[in-house]
Amino acid sequence: MNNRSDPKFTRAMLVLLPLTTEFAQRGGDVEALLLRHKIPLAALTTPTMLVDASACYAAMEDMAETLGDVHFGAKAATEAANKGAPAIWNAAKNAVTLGDFLARIVVEIATQVDNVRYLFSASADAANFEVQRTLRVSGPTTQLDAIGVVFYVSLIKRGLGKTFDPKHIIVTAPTNAGFPPDFLPKRSFIKSDINGLRISFPPKWLSEPFSPGWDVVETTRGEFARDGSDDGATVAYFRSVLMENIGPEDLSLNRFAEICGTHPRQMQRILSAQGVTYSQMKDEARRHLAVELVANTSTPIAQIALRVGLSGSSALTRAFRQWTGKTPMRFRAEAARDHDK
């Protein structure tokens, strides 16, 4: 996997934060939403944390359905186009023309996510800006399509000003069900089963001055690290989930991946990029929990052994000697003396 996320993963802070903010303002329960889709709450505030892209897409549809508002995503996208999006702030700040801006976006987005691929092309007949998804979405894409189309069409309109003419733009996407009424003329939309979206417009627009007028503060966005360290926050999430689920029954890789909402092979790739195996991570979680219970509770050693997935007190004693150089009883006694000081 090297210095890229698996294409099934994206950064929730980039994808979901503007939507969950709006969702909360309208009375939605963000924590319950994320729990339903197995997305850690920390993903909204940790730029480098990677989460299942399919879960993010499903959460978008969930928010709209919960609020009973099919245009929920489009409204949030319009606001983002008007106020600014940190994910492409550099392109917006430095672009001179529309063509310059779109070319910069292709490069800028590629440094942050790879669950989508941006393409920009032009001929004498038309200019095309495309967003291609690198995974096939199994569920509805009403919100996903609306967010992408409305954001970029609104942004092009804002940046071009009077040059923009909705009659000269063509949008190709799987559905327009989430588009606001009268957003585009009916003949400007082409329904297609493409896995993403395409926005086509006159090539002469490319040389027109472009300025969205954003006042966006530079922020950490979770760009890919050259050494693969961008996966570190995701591994930290895996560790926290493992701590909560380690128990008497052996937690297989397949079962743990299911709990995290991902595929075992994808999990192994992320762990491998960080130089750790699932077995090592499980042993670390077992050790951490066992030490915590021995030092800070009066739980019998045999019960602690079962709690951390070991066969009994003898197995825990052997493991504890490897971890600390002491037996559990000696470690507990010394911890108690330290507490009394």
Which tokens hold the place of 312? 């009994």
What are the sequence ranges of the domains in the chain?
Answer: 70-222, 229-340
Contact of 116 with 196, CB cutoff 8 Å: yes
- Cα–Cα distance for residue pair 41/69, rounded to 1 Å: 24
What is the CATH class of 229-340?
mainly alpha
According to DSSP, the residues that pair with 200 across neighbouring strands are 128, 170
Q: Do residues 131 and 116 lie in contact, with contact meaning Cβ atoms separated by under 8 Å?
A: yes
Strand partners, 176: none
pLDDT at res. 2:
38
- pLDDT for residue 339: 66
CA separation for the pair 257, 273 (Å, rounded): 17
Q: Which of 105, 253, 119, 310 is nearest to 199 (CA)?
A: 119
pLDDT recorded at residue 307: 87
Query: Which tens digits make up the pLDDT trace of 115-148?
Result: 888 999 999 999 999 999 988 888 889 999 999 9
pTM strictly above 0.75:
no
Burial class (CB in 10 A: 0-12, 13-18, 19+), 10: buried
pLDDT at residue number 228: 47
Beta bridge partners of 97: 209
Low-confidence ranges of the chain (pLDDT < 70): 1-8, 216-234, 261, 339-341
